[in-house]
Each structure stands twice: as structure tokens, then as C-alpha cells.
Amino acid sequence: MSTAPGELRAPAYRTVAESLRKRILDRSLRDGDRLPGELELARQFGVNRSTVREALRDLQTSGLVARRPGSKRFAVVRPAPGFVAEGVSRALALHEVTYFDLWESLTILEPPIAEAAARRRTAATVQPILAAAQRFAADHADTARAVHHVTDFFRAVGAATGNHVLMLAQEPLLALLDPSLVSMIDRVPQARARIGAAQRRLCTALAAGDAADARVWMARHIRDFRRGYELAGIALESPCAATPTAARR
């Protein structure tokens, strides 16, 4: 492909990566499909192996390919929600998203998620929600673990909707919620008890398939976070910080 005078030509590895990315995104290459080896890809694109390696590294960094255990060849993978969320939550933090922004976004997003989860609930989808609530109850004295279980609870409710758009939409917010709760929970003596109580009421509503009650209790639960920030003396205009994915594992 020719380049107009004065126009910068994209590096060869990027051209290869974009071609493979297009095949992945239009599903010509599907989740689990193995890519040809480096030599075959080099032959197909008319480049050397080092260019192919660089292109594959680019796709790996994007979370689109990975090496399966015991295999030297890359395969197409679906980016994990946490992987997708990390870049977005980092961007939100750099845009100085505030505690109020986070709280307002959770207020808009989480109650409808709880309602949809209750409406579509099955024994299989409710079990992880109950398990997350039980882990919070068992570990509530350990701040880091307690906060991790809170975000896991929200994540399990999101998963119960079966809606991947909602699941991916909530992930960046949960990455911001994690450190914001760490900032608040130790300063507000009643925070842990109120979180536990809200989780229990939500578990009851979700297990019963009571969509209206699930929505109401999730809205109350999110309202409590704002009250917690205020009691902790955290200015709602203060910017949130994102937690890197590795730190959340």
C-alpha cells in the first residue's frame, strides 16, 4: 500500500497486528482458535519473524491473544473483564473522577443490575452472591479482604444478569470503589455492619426473585456509601484513585 508524500507510514508490526485484530473482532478468528506459527504469519504478510513477534506482543498486551499452557503458538482469547476495566479505570482516575462521580454512577447503574439479577436468578447465579456475602461476614475485620469481598459481591450480582455489557460496564467503577472503600471503612464504625445488613437483604431478595425489593435495597446500599464518605470526612469533590488489576488479585 503506497504512502502519500509527507504521510508517515505505520510500522510494519502495527500493520500486521491491525490485520489480525480485524480478523479477531469480525470473528473470522474466534475465541480458542490457534494462530498460525510465526514463520507462516511472516510468509502470509511478507515480513520477517521479528515483525510478527512484535505484532503478537501488541495483541497480547491488548488481551486478544495468549499462549495456552503447553503450546508455543498463540490462540485467540476473550479479554477478561478486569483486564478491560483496568485501562478504563486508569483513564477515569487520570480525568480526576471524584467520589461524587463514582457514587452517582453506581446509583444509576447498580439498582437496575440488582433488579435484572433478581428477575433472571437461578440457583447457580445466586450461589456466588451468597458466597461473597458469607466471605464478607467472615473477613469483615480485615479491611483489605472485606473491601475485596464487597466488590466481589457487586461483581457476582452483575454476573447474575447474564448481560455482558452490564458486567463490563460495572468493572471500571468497581476498580475505583475498592480504594475508596478502603479510605472510608475504618473511619466509620458502623460501616461494616451496614454493608453486611444490606448484603443480607439483597441476598434474600435475589434468592426470592423479588426484583422490586432487590432494586430498592441496592439503592439504599449505594446511598449508604455517600453517607459513609461524609461521616469519614472525605470530601465528595476529592478525586478517586484506581487500584491496578494485579493489586486486586
What pLDDT, in 10s, does the model give residues 167-190? 988 988 888 888 889 989 999 999
Q: At what angle do helices 164-185 and 99-119 cross, to 10 degrees?
A: 130
What percent of the chain is modeled with pLDDT above 70?
88
Beta carbons of 229 and 236 less than 8 angstroms apart:
yes
Q: What percent of the chain has pLDDT over 90?
A: 67
| pLDDT of res. 156 | 97
Confidence of residue 245 (pLDDT cuts 50, 70, 90): very low
pTM to 2 decimals? 0.75
* Per-domain residue ranges of the chain: 12-76, 81-248
For residue range 27-40, what is the model confidence (pLDDT) as tens digits? 899 999 999 999 99
Grid coordinates standing for 31?
A: 475465541
Question: What's the CATH number for 81-248?
Answer: 1.20.120.530
Which CATH number among 3.20.20.70, 1.20.1050.10, 1.10.150.120, 1.10.10.10 corresponds to the domain 12-76?
Answer: 1.10.10.10
Phi, psi angle pair for 169, to nearest 5°: -65, -35
Q: What is the pLDDT of residues 55-76, one digit of tens each?
A: 999 998 888 899 988 888 999 9
- The answer to whether residues 152 and 192 touch, using CB atoms and an 8 Å cutoff, is no
**Is the distance from CB of 13 to CB of 58 less than 8 angstroms?**
yes
For position 69, what pLDDT does the model report? 84
Look up cell 475508596; give the residue: 180
